[in-house]
Structure 1
């Protein structure tokens, strides 16, 4: 999530730059071992999840370190800590999915051996894991893949490690807002062509822009059989009514709800807002109520941002207890209630 820029769009790079990227992509290694399936989707409500994030918002020019973890941790310690965090996501929220970030520094260097402990801990507990690439910081935080020369080896490593684990899902890039809709669809298609052994129903193709609409990738026949990921945030508007938020969300989804998972949406959770009561003057309350009602109505999966991110006012969970044996506490029970409602449980909002 990029709170400061999510409502803007950048000018795409030159044709020469895009051509250079395409060439680098196409000459990268291709993993082949038979055709991948493209099973039709029957809905996405099975994804009931949260994001687990680095305190820096996952944009990093070094390894991504999830809240509560450390690069000095061994695989065994990472696995043990992650096991408790994952168990707390289930116990506190009823989640069965976690979305995790990667970048080349995390995967292509020594930290990968330990970081795998997070993925393994989650899948060993039966969680679905969505693995997504985040770009770096500074001038490169522009919505483009930072460096194809490190991007493709990163995915080679991750795909090789987890292509046979049916609980792991691959999201080639988070918020590809630097590209035009067409250029982004080209890159997503190249990813699918590069990894033909990955079943298409284990790939999440991000919506164009800031993952802010899925209609263009949904319409592209080259991406048939994949899931689509949508992001939606209340800070994109200074104020909107409940009905306006519901209409805004549905416009971004189009007729693609059967393939779409909202793998980021969120609002302030540590400021005392009550999301279980109609509040005519509060934009965040309108937003959360409209989104969770719509996800439930459309039988869409949703993955809250963030389930855990230290010092983020949007975080629905916070770390408690000893650092070597962490547990989580809920920061806003009404927010947790609304998430449960989106996932098909609980009660509607009080009039």
Structure 2
């Protein structure tokens, strides 16, 4: 998720220093990934306050004092409630201040609890603090982080890797070079379990889709109403489909969301509300193309006003200790997300 909800107006970085090239022959000419991605029926689990951080990522509901066993118990309680609405995938953030630390030993409970029950897990790198402007802060630390992660989970077929969330600080050519270099360097991350983000805020897949270095990968796509001016339902559908390019069959909408605590009716096909039109359009494109989706967020995220929670969050969190519960904030929103998953 972008670090603030405001009209999309930050420009992609212009002329940047040339990146050190790593041979990418290992990924050129790979076979295209299998068509259709609706096996991903997911939610993002985020830090309360968002995932852009210069410190360890402590997800909403967890405490940095938790042990691995406590994290697993909390995660299982939350996954039980997510599974009740059809969730089988969770997207989790990582950064260089989390992986390889003492907290990482506990944090891994969120991953291991998910895979043990058959959930798919998407591990996505969030830049280390919003001030880094959509660029990797420390390339060496980033590679060390990913070497640790792919060494640990490269053989686990339920774990997927997303090299970077919203790489908006790079031009299209630069980002594609960074991503291709990552794939060559981290050979434990098989292409079929790698999700390459689109350009900008992961909002346009066309250049990545047409780059043969990524033929064997999945693609990560984001679409929010606040990125753009208001549109009609039909305009949103066309806009989403256009930015998917020719790669809808291997794309996953890893972030999309809208207010779930304000009483909006996402079942109303005649609604004039821009958020309702947007969610209905995104989920229709998903269903039409048999695409998977990972809603932003299940819980966590950037608190709205003085509410103490992100009003996009699908669930309200209650309970204490390891006895945690999730309650759906908007039944029509839940049902529309399930519709997008093909349920």
TM-score range, shorter chain: over 0.9
Deviation at 1:254, TM superposition (A): 1.5
Matching residue within 20, 28, 40 for 2:33: 40
Partner residue, 2:280:
289
Q: Deviations over 1:244-290 (max 9, x none)?
A: 11011011101111110000000000111110113442100100111
Alpha-carbon distance in structure 2 between the residues aligned to 1:118 and 1:68:
11
Alpha-carbon distance in structure 1 between the residues aligned to 2:224 and 2:136:
23
Partner residue, 2:142:
151
The 5 Å alignment of 1:108-123 reads 108-123=100-115
Alpha-carbon distance in structure 2 between the residues aligned to 1:131 and 1:295:
21
Q: 1:197 to 1:319 in 2, by over 3 A?
A: same
Q: Are positions 1:139 and 2:131 aligned together?
A: yes
Alpha-carbon distance in structure 1 between the residues aligned to 2:316 and 2:215:
38
Name the stretch that deviates more: 335-344 or 194-203: 194-203
Q: Are positions 1:58 and 2:51 aligned together?
A: yes
Deviation at 1:13, TM superposition (A): 5.8
User: Which runs of 5 or more structure 2 residues have no equivalent in the other structure?
Assistant: 302-308
Matching residue within 76, 86, 89 for 2:79: 86
Deviation at 1:309, TM superposition (A): 1.4
Alpha-carbon distance in structure 2 between the residues aligned to 1:118 and 1:340:
23
SS at match of 2:256: strand
CA RMSD of aligned residues (A): 2.1
User: Which runs of 5 or more structure 1 residues have no equivalent in the other structure?
Assistant: 346-351
Q: Are positions 1:325 and 2:318 aligned together?
A: no
Partner residue, 2:264:
273
Deviation at 1:306, TM superposition (A): 0.4
Determine which structure has the larger helix proportion and give its number.
1
SS at match of 2:135: coil
Matching residue within 164, 177, 180 for 1:186: 177
Alpha-carbon distance in structure 2 between the residues aligned to 1:173 and 1:158:
13
Contact 1:82/1:121, CA 8 A, preserved across alignment? yes
Q: Deviations over 1:209-229 (max 9, x none)?
A: 000011110111111110000
Contact 1:6/1:210, CA 8 A, preserved across alignment? no
Contact 2:7/2:228, CA 8 A, preserved across alignment? no
Contact 1:317/1:329, CA 8 A, preserved across alignment? yes
SS at match of 1:289: helix
Deviation at 1:4, TM superposition (A): 3.4
Q: 1:312 to 1:226 in 2, by over 3 A?
A: same
Alpha-carbon distance in structure 1 between the residues aligned to 2:5 and 2:39:
31
Deviation at 1:198, TM superposition (A): 2.3
Runs of 4+ that moved beyond 3 A: 3-6, 37-40
Contact 1:86/1:122, CA 8 A, preserved across alignment? yes
Matching residue within 154, 161, 167 for 2:158: 167
Alpha-carbon distance in structure 2 between the residues aligned to 1:42 and 1:136:
33
SS at match of 1:122: helix
SS at match of 1:329: strand
Q: Are positions 1:206 and 2:197 aligned together?
A: yes
Contact 1:38/1:201, CA 8 A, preserved across alignment? no
Partner residue, 1:349:
none
TM-score by length of 1: 0.90
Partner residue, 2:306:
none
The aligned length equals 333
Partner residue, 2:254:
263
Partner residue, 1:343:
341
Contact 2:53/2:130, CA 8 A, preserved across alignment? no
